[in-house]
Amino acid sequence: MPGCVHGVCHQPWQCMCQSGWAGNFCDKDLHLCENSDPCQNGGQCVITADGEYTCNCPEPFHGKNCEMKRGPCEAEGFPCLNGGTCQDNNGFADAFICRCLAGYVGRLCETDVDDCLMRPCANGATCVDGVNRFSCECPYGFQGRFCTVNINDCVGQPCQNGGRCFDRVGDYECYCAEGFTGKSCEIPIPRSTWDYQVVTSAKDPTPQTLPTRTVGTSRWSPVSVDKAGHFKISVKEVVTQREHGLSELQIIIVIVFGVITGLVVLLTVGLVLWYRLRATGQPGWCSNSSADTKTHYQQCHGTAPENRKTTEL
């Protein structure tokens, strides 16, 4: 029998113990209570048949060696909450204390620490408190533990037709190539082309080439020629031009030039009439200073200078 401490082995797996020793290995002192009493605080030491000992502890002590006392923790029913450990110096303390787990505070570990108190979440994210931890509910466009990472909205290459993508917060912006427009540069811009229309008139048989502009499928002519060879433009055509892309400033310029043209025409007609009336000698157009010649006198007064006296009488 290997390991026989206080005994000898007479046959396999059997240890014959010396006097005062017991146990399978003859290592239990039967005189332990007499030689060195392990029981504390007035406990009574008793040796059992297998060589072990027990301590009969007086109140309020307990434990294997009566080393513990029923103190405040036991008296209060171990009141620490949320996994906290009650400590009272083995019952010898006047009051107990609770040793709390991480994430709890308070006398009884009853209060969960607000881990969102320091506002760790960025960019308007919502902080959700947990037990010794927190989590951030990120707004649209952000990600990460603290919602500090701006999601790159250009990863999927949303810009079409050669457009250049720029990332924004929860959005993207496309700088379109020439000839395209729209959120993702998906809309082609119609291109303007100029054609020429050959026009002839009855007075002038020489062909006249007038420009016409084509926008998409509609065509408009800024100038038209009637059968008499006169150029004309109507208000309806101006409005139609505006619908096809003519700006408000261009409309105003056309109207102003039209008014000026009308005034010039009226002034010209007035001057022509004035000269014709003066040439025909109508009353009101002759003056004394201009009646010097016989012909002019006759045109203004209707008689020759030699008959002036008779006429006046």
Question: Is 58 contained in some domain?
Answer: no
- Cα distances from 283 to residues 253, 278, 287, 289, 303, in angstroms, run 43, 9, 10, 15, 14
Taking the C-alpha atoms of residue 54 and residue 283, their distance in angstroms, rounded to an integer, is: 159
How many structural domains are present in the chain?
Answer: 2
User: For residue 219, which phi and psi values (nearest 5 degrees)?
Assistant: -130, 140
Q: In this predicted structure, what is the pLDDT of residue 38? A: 87
Tens-digit pLDDT profile for the chain (313 aa)? 667 888 888 787 788 888 778 778 888 878 778 777 889 888 889 887 777 888 999 988 888 889 888 889 988 999 999 999 999 988 888 899 999 999 999 999 999 999 999 999 999 999 999 989 999 999 999 999 999 999 999 998 999 999 999 999 889 999 999 999 999 999 999 876 554 454 445 555 555 545 544 444 333 344 444 555 544 544 444 444 444 556 788 889 999 999 999 999 999 999 998 888 887 765 555 554 444 555 555 555 555 555 544 444 3
Question: Is 14 contained in some domain?
Answer: no
Domain that holds residue 291: 281-312
Single-letter amino acid code for the residue at 117: L
Question: Is 96 contained in some domain?
Answer: no
Question: Is 112 contained in some domain?
Answer: no
Q: What is the pTM of this model?
A: 0.38
Question: Is 237 contained in some domain?
Answer: yes
Closest CA to 36 of 10, 65, 61: 65
Question: Is 305 contained in some domain?
Answer: yes
Question: Is 221 contained in some domain?
Answer: yes
